[in-house]
Structure 1
Amino acid sequence: MRAIPIAVTALVAALTLTACGDSGDDGGDNDTKATASAAATAACAIGQVALEAGPASEAPAAGDTGIVPFTITNSGDQCTLEGFPGVGLTAGDTSATVAGDEAAQPEKLTLAKDDTATFTITYVRGEAAGAESLDATTVKISLPGADTTKDFPWSYGPVAGKTGASEPDATVSPFQRAGD
């Protein structure tokens, strides 16, 4: 009868020892974890995401506010978006940078393949051909940490200037997770 408790004790001890990790560090597990961690923190690049504009809520008249939403869908490996997208408006040889919304608090988003995020450009419509307005024709979008841009036609009317055409009365929101 005494053999059963000893056998059970030996079995429990053997199972406990196999559950413990090797105290030697050959780097195998750590290399895998480091690679997974690096992939989780790699910044999203324009070339690995699909970027779509609209549908917009165009400002109907000078002085009105309009919004242009953008959707980003990750088509590559897991990546992150943090902060604000880079947004520039151009009209011929004139260009202006759209500032991030100072009231917003950006968060770091991790996007797995096929995950989506959004951001929005909010602008005040200006007078057509007005000295204080930018008759924008193109909006250039870049992601944080990269100079590569994706261009979209700007068909939402002139953008009012805060103090002139070079400082548009517009802001861009931080990245936000889309969907549920």
Structure 2
Amino acid sequence: MAAARRNRWRHALALVVLAGGLAACAPLKPTAAPSAAIETPGRDDAAAATAFTPKSEVAEVRLITAQTPAVRAYRKLGAADIYKAYPKRIYKGKIPPLVYAVVVVETDIDATGRVVDVNFSRIPSHAPEVPPLIAELIRKASPLANPGALGAHTYVDTWLWDKSGNFQLDSRTLGQRSR
């Protein structure tokens, strides 16, 4: 008898928790647009439509293009254009084991290969002067290779920056020396 009573209490508690969880999710549902049959006295249609428009307070997030084989192939083309633009700035041979700065760069290009924006997902705290230099180099090398059917996208590459100011891009690096 006591076991049956405990089971009923557990079921009742589970239902309360479930109902509370569902009630908490209700504010996440989008607000439905007002029905055309509902009329608001003293308002015209435009005012009624804007009165029920949900406002988004979430900041827009940049989406990085998935690193598909086509995007990785384009990354090599873009790197080749940067190498062509700065042949004297390319670090010759294998990069030293302790490179001065490693910077992960997100380059937004349009459908013609023109650089639209340059962002960074990894910036070295000890070398804050490097990312602006990289952004300037990328913008001056614009337009990069035409992406063709790939179209406008964001591709990611890692810049390996030496103390001398020379660099290699991860997509075209010759590797790293052991010493």
Report the structure, 1 or 2, having the larger strand content.
Answer: 1
How does the TM-score come out when normalised to structure 1? 0.23
Q: TM-score, normalised by structure 2?
A: 0.23
**Larger helix percent:** 2
Larger Rg: 2
